[in-house]
Amino acid sequence: MDTNARRRTTVHDVAALRIHRDGTRVANSDTNRRSRRAKYTVRDARGNWIAKDAGGLGTVTSRPGASKEDDGQDEDASEVEADELLQDELRPSQRKDKGKGRAIDDEGDIAVNTRAGKRRRFDEDFSFLNPGAEPALLPSQTGEPLHPHPEGRAFKTIPVPSSDLLKCLHYFASAYYTAMGQLYDAGRESRKERKMRRAQRLK
């Protein structure tokens, strides 16, 4: 039960879903059954009082569903309008030269066709769902034409990086993150102490 009903609302109240949409707090007592917000107040699995409308009521206005034919017509109409707007943007002004205008029209048609092809390929490409897809390979430097069949490919795999390259990457990465304060060498002091003890024993 709340000891002070007039205290300020805290982040713990918000996280515990005890705040109504209007900002009022749910009292952790049975008085919620008699309040005007009783229909928006319930008990959770642990017996604590929470606000049903803490994250909004979640009600969706029911509307009559459109038929599939209407959806197809709307999509076709939207695509036609988008193509018309794109052509209007690519169409040159009437003040420019006609020859230049024809060249721009040709470039615009190529751009539209290229974008449409990319969009179509993107929609029809499901290769990322193939679990057995092979990793990307680099073409060979022999200049041989690529063959459509797997046995005729002139490909070679990506070479494994050398140990020296990996050591350099590790060194620069550790130096960078140490300078940024995101990497700490906790064993440095103990190594120094062991080195000093070893030097003293040798003396």
20 within 8 A of 40, measured Cβ to Cβ: yes
Are 86 and 120 found together in one domain? yes
**Claim to verify: residue 96 and residue 118 sit in the same structural domain:** yes
Domain that holds residue 149: 135-180
pLDDT of residue 195: 92
The C-alpha atoms of residue 134 and residue 160 are separated, in whole angstroms, by: 17
More confident residue, 87 or 89: 87
Residues 117 and 140 in one domain: no
Indicate whether 119 and 141 sit together in one domain.
no
Average pLDDT (18-38) is 75
Answer yes or no: is pLDDT of 105 > 80: no
pLDDT in tens, 158-186: 778 888 888 989 989 888 888 888 888 77
Does 1 map to a domain?
Answer: no
Q: Is residue 200 part of a domain?
A: no
89 found inside a domain: yes
Residues 6+ apart with CB under 8 A from 152: none
Per the structure, the count of domains in the chain is 3
Does the residue 139 lie in any domain?
yes
Highest mean pLDDT range out of 7-16, 121-130, 165-174? 165-174
At 53 the pLDDT is 78
Would residue 104 count as lying in a domain? yes
Exposure on the CB side of residue 31, measured as CA atoms within 13 A: 8
pTM above 0.75, yes or no: no
Would residue 67 count as lying in a domain?
Answer: no
Q: Tell me if 150 is assigned to some domain.
A: yes
Question: Do residue 116 and residue 81 come from a single domain?
Answer: yes
- Establish if 68 belongs to a structural domain: no
Computed over every residue of the chain, the mean pLDDT equals 70
